[in-house]
Amino acid sequence: MALLENPLEHPEKFHISKDLGFILEDPLEELPDRYQVWVKLAKNLPTLVEEGQFREEAEQLPELSIDELQGYKEQRLAHLALSVITMGYVWQDRNVKEVLPRNIAVPFWNLSEKLGLPPIMVYADCVLANWKKKDPLGSMTYDNMDTLFAFPGGDCSKGFFLVSLLVEKAAASAMKVIPDIFEAVKKKNSESLKESLQSVASSVYEAYKTFQLVHEHVNPNDFFNILRVYLAGWKNCSLLPKGLIYEGVSEIPKEFAGGSAAQSSIMQCFDALLGIQHTTENGNAKYLEEMRNYMPSPHKIFLEAVASHSSVRDFVSSSDDIQLKKAYNECVKALVHIRNYHLQVVNKYIISPSSKQDSEKGQKSSDDEVKGTGGTNLLIFLRSVRDTTKRALLEES
Ligand code: HEM
């Protein structure tokens, strides 16, 4: 990859697709023969976990060098397969393992370094690279899609990963107009900027509508009690308080946050484009910035370029054009709307099942203390991110 290229002029060189944004286009399903053992084991995870055999099988894997993996898509599939194996190995039956054996740890660590990703399952693995079309000529609809790898909990992981992917895809249609937005600001062309901003707002509304599919395809109990266990990380984690030892890499345990859609680049991309800055005093900005280290490094570079070059907000706020301010505010309102809806979803899938579990155990705890897979005090964090977004609205006079 030519990192000297300007990401805003050549997003395709930063693994950003014209049609699908940060989603990996047509991911590979198979690896070269010697690496197929990873794919096979990861595919069999749900059955092997049910039979209590997953760890034993994982321990039998040969320790492979990653040098013969050719090209980006092979590397992404290998990272996805090794990440699934790692999550299964660490969390099988909730009977946690503190050491990841070297036959998994060494290739996973080396490959992660090569891709600029952490050695844990991230959103770019389980959502952005974990899909295929059933009919390759058909379109990307839920019914025509499947995941490459699933976790225990029936169809819950398929639902969660594919709905997230479709939300990402709906929002990604706004990425096409980013070059037009930069051009319009540069040329002080308010009419063209208005049009492009309207297109961003309607993509975010499409994403919101797609989000509603979650209720059809993800069961709250399976999500809370089964899938979340496998998405959890080893940072701020009471079961692995010091982190995980990657045998053959270091004897010191390493901490990494679990998989979360907070690792999606798309919402951060809109924030950066619109000049929405999350507050530093309660750690939100720090957490969101940290999540950039859980994105493929070319995507992180792209986000940084958008954040440092975008003067959309300054241009609109200093303009007298009320229609332009309205178009900018439509984008902000769409983001507030989707973040509000996300809060409702989080209530249904995490807060309610968590309160129910506490009351069954006769325990009392505050909703504000419930933690996300990324380790945040999730309600406080999500409300505050929503509120900062709201504060970015400009006066329309
Ligand atoms: C059942 C569905 C979902 C649940 C339960 C859920 C849960 C969470 C939680 C708990 C967080 C806080 C960070 C953490 O500690 O993990 C979070 C953050 C976030 N989630 Fe989700 N999420 C869901 C679906 C989605 C989807 C489909 C998207 C969009 C692709 C999304 C985008 C985000 C973003 C962007 C953040 C960072 C905060 C922000 O920028 O507003 N989530 N999510």
Task: Quote the mean pLDDT of the chain.
Answer: 93
Find how far residue 227's CA is from the centre of its chain. Answer: 15
Give the N- to C-terminal CA distance of the chain in Å, as an integer: 46
Number of the ligand 1 atom closest to the C-alpha atom of 375: 15
pLDDT tens string 380-397: 889 999 999 999 999 987
For residue 147, is pLDDT > 90?
A: yes
Which of ligand 1's atoms lies nearest the C-alpha of 218? 1
Q: Is 342 annotated as a binding residue?
A: yes
pLDDT in tens, 290-344: 999 999 999 999 999 999 988 999 999 999 999 999 999 999 999 999 999 999 9
> DSSP E strands: which ranges in 177-260?
245-246
Ligand 1, pocket residues at CB < 6 Å = 160, 163-164, 167-168, 211, 214, 218, 223, 260-262, 264, 267, 339, 342, 345-346, 349-350, 372-376, 378, 381-382, 385
Bridge partners (DSSP) listed for residue 314: none
Q: How far is the CA of 268 from the centre of ligand 1 (A)?
A: 12
Which of 336, 348, 359 has its CA nearest to residue 215? 348
Residue 280: CB atoms within 10 A of its CB come to 10
**Minimum CA distance residue for ligand 1 atom 17:** 262
How many angstroms separate the alpha carbon of residue 337 from the centre of ligand 1?
14
Distances (CA, A) of 253 to 104, 199, 246: 15, 46, 7
Give the Å distance between the CA of 115 and the centre of ligand 1.
23
Q: What is the pLDDT of residue 367?
A: 62
Cα 69 to ligand 1 centre (Å) = 32
By most ligand atoms within 8 Å of CB, the mutation choice from 260, 278, 279, 295 for ligand 1 is 260
What predicted TM-score, i.e. pTM, was given to this entire model?
0.95
Distance CA 393, CA 244 (A): 43
Right CATH number for 17-392 from 3.20.20.70, 1.10.3470.10, 1.20.58.480, 2.60.120.260? 1.20.58.480
Pair of tokens at residue 83: 């990440």
Domain regions of the chain by residue span: 17-392
The alpha carbon of 285 and the centre of ligand 1 are apart by a number of angstroms equal to 15
Digit-coded pLDDT (tens) for 11-68: 888 999 999 999 999 999 999 999 999 999 999 999 999 999 999 999 999 999 999 9
Closest CA to 368 of 352, 356, 351, 384: 351
Neighbours of 285 (CB within 10 A): 15
